[in-house]
Amino acid sequence: MFAASFLACSLIGFAPPAVAESGAVLLEDDFNRAEKDDAKEQVGGGWGTNSKSRAKGNKQVDLVEHDGGGALHITMHPEADHGVSVRHDVSAWKDGTLTLRFKLPPKGDLGIDLADLQEKSVHAGHLLIVRVKPDVVELRDHKAGGMDLARRERRQAGTVTADDKQVMKDTVLRVKTAVAPNEWHTLTITTTGDVLSVSIDDKPVGELNSSGIGHPTKRTIRIAVNSECWVDDLKLVAD
């Protein structure tokens, strides 16, 4: 009896974490709403921001009118000591497709940072990020690359090894692009196993194959902005 009970507990304890079923819509937001007090940061929809802790409470995220509906306007405040992070937790998922519409000013940027705050081998749960600027798109595997805790400590201490440098090179893909500023575009990000693929306006931009991308429990979406951008019609579907 004891052996059977121990085995059952062991199997339960080592069961893989539940992940969203294929086709499940994990998050969908058209930002078609308004703040009760326009002077305050009231994103709603389950979103949170880092403005209180990193921008001295200054408003950085605003709900604005767009095409008869709404959109999210994000602007890093001059007093901020970190880029803007607009965060939403979702059910755990492994593979999926995230689509959204975005608009950038000539010097704007948009980052989509996928994270798992329960993953303690990396800084702040960072797994991977896609960053779009008018002239370049960057795909980066944070987990296997620069956000690995030991590697990050060596980076900060200035003691990176030759192996660190090679790994950090192999976990990043930069692709020159021409994203027209001040126009709306559609961004599509897909993770399939260890492969991260990106397209803009239904045209492939690039693919990065790296081990950290296959992390089995992605749980958080962070819209990461270091300057300014607009975001609308965001949808995440598990594959």
pLDDT of the residue at 11: 40
Residue 26 belongs to a domain? yes
Q: What is the mean pLDDT of each run of 10 residues along the chain (239 residues)?
A: 36 62 97 95 98 98 92 98 98 98 98 98 98 98 97 96 96 98 98 98 98 98 98 98
Q: Which of 11, 132, 111, 89 is nearest to 3 (CA)?
A: 11
Domain span holding position 223 = 19-238
Distance separating alpha carbons of residues 224 and 147, to the nearest angstrom: 16
CATH number at residue 165: 2.60.120.560
What is the reported pLDDT for 16?
55
Domain-located, residue 94: yes
Domain membership of residue 102 (yes or no) is yes
Residue 8 covered by a domain: no
Assess if residue 39 is contained within a domain.
yes
**203 belongs to a structural domain:** yes
The pTM of this model reads: 0.91
For the record, the structure tokens of 43 come out as: 């994103």
Number of folded domains in the chain?
1
Is residue 236 within 8 Å of residue 98, measured between CB atoms? Answer: yes
Let me know if residue 1 belongs to a domain: no
- What is the model's pLDDT at position 15? 53
90-122: buried (b, 16+ CB within 10 Å) or exposed (e) per residue?
bbbbbbbebbbbbbbeeebbbbbbbbbeebeeb
Q: Is residue 71 part of a domain?
A: yes
| Contact in structure between 184 and 101 (CB atoms under 8 Å) | yes
